[in-house]
């Protein structure tokens, strides 16, 4: 890959980067309301104008978890840019583009899924060993307690009300490093999938309710 454009829009602090010949040559960040919308295209135009790259070998984009609207905007922009450039758009989990995940050490990523739900994901050696899944307050506190007891890194990508948890936001440059550090088989899986936001689901299927029959 000689010229790669990278989008990261899963949090309110978004960024776009350009990698040329394996190195990040520029990164531009901006803040919005977690939707980003048209704010994304100004920095992208500046990068294209500044470095003269109008065709790319690939487009990378963060898939979350995080702001569903913001992530969708980033993926749509990446797919549009890939269509124009005649290359492939590849989605990478945004949490792998954080400083903690890039350390390679085992870590726990947590987030507020709203309405009393939280999400958890476990990362080790630049891979997701447990995909982001929903949990309740009890599961959230239990996971945090285990991480603290075992001196395991833990972080959130955005603040969680009432909690003092270290924050580590993903960046476009971080996604590029995550791509480079990922095993070849993982990169192949990412490249072969259709880019879409990470859908947060419970870690198991809830049993259906027993049918109640009336007595005659």
Q: Where are the domains of the chain?
A: 3-95+170-192, 99-156
Most confident of 1-10, 26-35, 104-113: 104-113
At residue 33, the pLDDT reads: 62
CA–CA dist 44, 9 (Å, integer) = 13
With contact defined as beta carbons under 8 Å apart, do 53 and 1 qualify? no
Q: Summarize pLDDT for 41-62 with one digit per residue, the tens.
A: 888 889 888 887 668 999 999 9
For range 93-118, the mean pLDDT: 95
Report the candidate in 126, 158, 163, 125 with the shortest Cα–Cα distance to residue 144. Answer: 163
Which letter does DSSP use for residue 40 in this model? G
Q: How many helices (DSSP H) and strands (DSSP E) are in the chain? A: 6, 9
Peptide bond into 155 cis (omega under 30): no
Fold of 99-156: Nucleotidyltransferase; domain 5 (3.30.420)
DSSP string across 29-58: EEE-SS--GGGGHHHHHHHHHHH-----SE
Least confident of 5-9, 27-31, 34-38, 125-129: 34-38
Same fold for the domain at 3-95+170-192 and the one at 99-156? Answer: yes
| Size of the chain in residues | 216
Q: Which residues contact 31 (CB under 8 A, 6 or more apart)?
A: 12, 13, 14
* CATH number for the segment(s) 3-95+170-192: 3.30.420.40
For range 123-143, the mean pLDDT: 95
End-to-end CA distance of the chain: 72
């Amino acid at each position: 890959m000689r010229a790669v454009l990278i989008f990261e829009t899963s949090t309110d602090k978004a960024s776009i980067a350009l990698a040329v010949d394996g190195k990040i040559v520029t990164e531009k960040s901006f803040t919005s309301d977690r939707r980003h919308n048209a704010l994304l295209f100004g920095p992208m135009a500046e990068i294209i104008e500044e470095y003269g790259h109008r065709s790319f070998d690939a487009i990378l984009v963060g898939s979350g978890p995080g702001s569903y609207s913001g992530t969708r905007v980033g993926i749509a922009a990446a797919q549009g840019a890939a269509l124009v450039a005649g290359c492939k758009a590849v989605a990478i989990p945004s949490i792998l583009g954080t400083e903690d995940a890039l350390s390679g050490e085992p870590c726990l990523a947590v987030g507020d899924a709203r309405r009393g739900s939280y999400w958890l994901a476990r990362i080790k050696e630049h891979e997701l060993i447990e995909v982001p899944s929903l949990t309740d307050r009890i599961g959230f506190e239990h996971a945090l307690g285990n991480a603290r007891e075992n001196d395991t890194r833990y972080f959130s990508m955005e603040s969680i009300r009432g909690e003092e948890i270290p924050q580590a936001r993903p960046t476009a440059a971080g996604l590029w490093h995550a791509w480079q550090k990922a095993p070849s088989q993982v990169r192949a899986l990412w490249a072969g999938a259709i880019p879409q936001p990470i859908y947060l689901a419970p870690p198991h299927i809830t049993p259906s309710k027993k049918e109640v029959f009336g007595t005659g």
